Amino acid sequence: MARKYFGTDGIRGRVGEFPITPDFVLKLGWAVGRVFAREGHSKVLIGKDTRISGYMFESALEAGLTAAGVDVLLLGPMPTPAIAYLTRTFRADAGIVISASHNPYEDNGIKFFSSEGTKLPDAVEERIEAQLDLAMTTVSSAELGKVRRINDAAGRYIEFCKASGGHHLSLEGLNLVVDCANGAAYHVAPKVFAELGAKVTEIGTTPDGMNINLNCGATAPEALRARVLEVGADLGIALDGDGDRLILVDHTGEAVDGDEILLIIAKALHNSGELEGGVVGTLMTNLGMELALKSFDIPFVRAKVGDRYVMEQLHLNDWVLGGEGSGHIVVRDLLPTGDGIIAAVQVLKAIVESGSTLHDLKKGMTKLPQQMINVRLEKRVSIEGVESIEQAVAEAEQILGSDGRILLRPSGTEPVVRVMVEGVDEQLVGEVCQQVADKVEKALKPLVS
């Protein structure tokens, strides 16, 4: 069944434009409540990032859920993976996150977790969409849901993150800079690393509702790099607005992306005999990581882009480790979703146990030149069957030969077509990527105007 509202990661868009409007989100809360309602009161958690629109959508969801007879637990600003964890620990029927992740503050979105802390199955999302087509009703006053605020949510999650590195992990002697992107982890991440013993310099921890992801965080690590060099830190940690992405900066100022982070964790687990099975990457994962894993005889498979698809492959193979170059890292035996703080703890554990620097640990991978251009459109449009695009891809593949690859992927969360080219010749990769991007834009612009 084709879904009208749900993308690869919930429902997302510009605030005030359908469906990211208060009236739609009110009915969405009601529809979710109808799907999860059961005999006796069901229980749903709501968390959010620091966007100014979060207050509005929190109230709308709360009203819709209680009108359907569902109890609501409000967590306030919390990282997305924290909601997944707390949904499990509170034995809730579902968890809801109000966030547009790495997008600017003008956007927002609603995404969901099951009672197990996983993304909702497609079948459940389809049931929610079916409810949205019905007229909204309200249960009797005696059956209305109740609302309670959880005041110790941050403390619970901080302890979980600290424990993820093992009870004996100490970061004494490490000097860290932590950039929270003025987002949901601003009151959580610095405490995790400080309580583990590190000296922590905070940046991106003064959210005002509109500065989330603004020139900071995992999508803009320049400020982190500058501060790491300024204070002489051992490394820098950059999260995105909802705390599920991680990008690192080593002591020389070099960025360490999700592919390199994934390899560091994989090698550490492999060396300690704790790596169960292999590693899941995505279609975007740099070929250099695949070759590095092969040298350690660690199996590797590619999933479609998106942490829900990484999780699907982990589940199918019964493996524990997967991730994306963007910094979504899943350590499935700890939490079944990407978690920037937990991934950082695993890297720090590898640094402590090996006695190496982050700069040295990332040397195990030779990245092939990779270029990506985002072709931004007025609205989403399919690229399937567009002859000029298919021809452009075929010509690019011929130019690149067997030493390169090209991937076109429409974003699941915004009106963008991503053009990625990878190969051994950096100049050729850049030229081919630009040529294909220009042809994609020329082919699609008339379709959306």
Q: What was the pLDDT predicted at 380?
A: 84
Residue at which a domain ends, from 364, 392, 425: 364
295 is catalytic: no
Low-confidence ranges of the chain (pLDDT < 50): none
Q: Which domain holds residue 406?
A: 370-448
Assess if residue 161 is contained within a domain: yes
Assess if residue 314 is contained within a domain: yes
Assess if residue 4 is contained within a domain: no
Are 110 and 125 part of one and the same domain? yes
Assess if residue 180 is contained within a domain: yes
Are 358 and 432 part of one and the same domain? no
Longest dimension (CA), the chain: 69
Assess if residue 6 is contained within a domain: no
Residue at which a domain ends, from 313, 335, 364: 364
Are 176 and 210 part of one and the same domain? yes
Global pTM exceeds 0.85: yes
Residue at which a domain ends, from 334, 364, 394: 364
Are 31 and 89 part of one and the same domain? yes
Are 387 and 262 part of one and the same domain? no
Indicate which CATH number applies to the domain containing 423. Answer: 3.30.310.50
On whether the CB atoms of residues 432 and 407 are closer than 8 A, the answer is no
Are 312 and 392 part of one and the same domain? no
With H, G, I as helix, E, B as strand and everything else as coil, classify residue 280.
strand
Q: How far apart are CA 445 and CA 449, in angstroms?
A: 6
Among residues 351, 343, 366, the alpha carbon closest in space to that of 293 is found at 366
Are 164 and 92 part of one and the same domain? no
Strands 235-239 and 255-256: unpaired
Are 336 and 214 part of one and the same domain? yes
Among residues 135, 138, 87, the alpha carbon closest in space to that of 112 is found at 87
Q: How many structural domains are present in the chain?
A: 3
Task: Please pick, among 101, 114, 326, 411, the residue that the annotation labels catalytic.
Answer: 101
Q: What was the pLDDT predicted at 1?
A: 54
Q: What was the pLDDT predicted at 364?
A: 82
Q: How far apart are CA 405 and CA 396, in angstroms?
A: 9
Indicate which CATH number applies to the domain containing 133. Answer: 3.40.120.10
Are 42 and 142 part of one and the same domain? yes
Are 348 and 256 part of one and the same domain? yes
Are 34 and 105 part of one and the same domain? yes
- Percent of the chain residues past pLDDT 70, beyond the cut: 99
Nearest-Å Rg of the Cα atoms of the chain is 22
